[in-house]
Amino acid sequence: MITITNRSNSPIHAVDADTLANANLANADLRNANLRNANLRNANLRSANLANADLRNANLRNADLRNADLRNANLRNAKLRAADLRKAILHGTGTCALYGLRWAVYIVPGAMSIGCQTHTPAAWRDMPDARIDGMHTDALKWWATWRPILLALCEQSEREAPTRSRRTRIGSRPTRRGP
């Protein structure tokens, strides 16, 4: 159950995390919210405060995140296809959105979406040319140009990602990550 509050900390609504598709959460204060696996598809999160929120595996497809504060939010494996991230604050999330290329590219820790295709960075790196060529007539040429840059951004995304959930149990130790 998630209790949504406004900026003055007054409760607005309490809902299950899986029923937030199409929700109007503009300007909502969702700091530190546990939205792991939440379905926020088509949600209006414009100017929402999602700082330190746990959005792992959340479906944010087509979500309006313009001007949203996502500082240090955990977006590992979040689905951001067609999400509007213009002017969103993404510091500390390991998230990258690239517009203006042949296809929109979204990189979150653990996943990269190019157009309608979403795979792990390892799957993209090891994908056979024949499979990429079958995605679109221009895909292989485009991938040959952008592959090293996009895979480098995936590596950077992993380095910048939050290393653990903000909601660790008392007495638990964070797991150590490699260099």
Residue 175 has pLDDT above 60, yes or no: no
Residue 167 has pLDDT above 60, yes or no: no
Cα separation, 142 vs 120, in Å, equals: 19
Residue 12 has pLDDT above 70, yes or no: no
Q: What is the pLDDT of residues 151-165, one digit of tens each?
A: 999 999 888 876 644
Residue 119 DSSP SS3: strand
* pLDDT averaged over every residue in the chain: 85
Lowest average pLDDT, out of 57-71, 83-97, 135-149, goes to 83-97
Mean pLDDT in residue range 27-49: 93
What kind of fold does domain 2-160 have according to CATH?
Answer: Pectate Lyase C-like (2.160.20)
Structure tokens at 47: 């100017």
Residue 132 main-chain phi, psi, to 5 deg: -65, -40
Q: What is the pLDDT of residues 85-120, one digit of tens each?
A: 989 999 989 898 888 899 989 999 999 999 989 999
Cα separation, 124 vs 1, in Å, equals: 36
Percentage of the chain lying above the pLDDT 90 cut: 60
Q: What is the pLDDT of residues 114-133, one digit of tens each?
A: 998 999 999 999 999 999 99
Residue 176 has pLDDT above 50, yes or no: no
Domain ranges of the chain: 2-160
User: What is the pLDDT confidence band of residue 172, given thresholds at 50, 70 and 90?
Assistant: very low
Residue 115 DSSP SS3: coil
Count Cα atoms within 13 angstroms, Cβ side, for 36.
Answer: 10
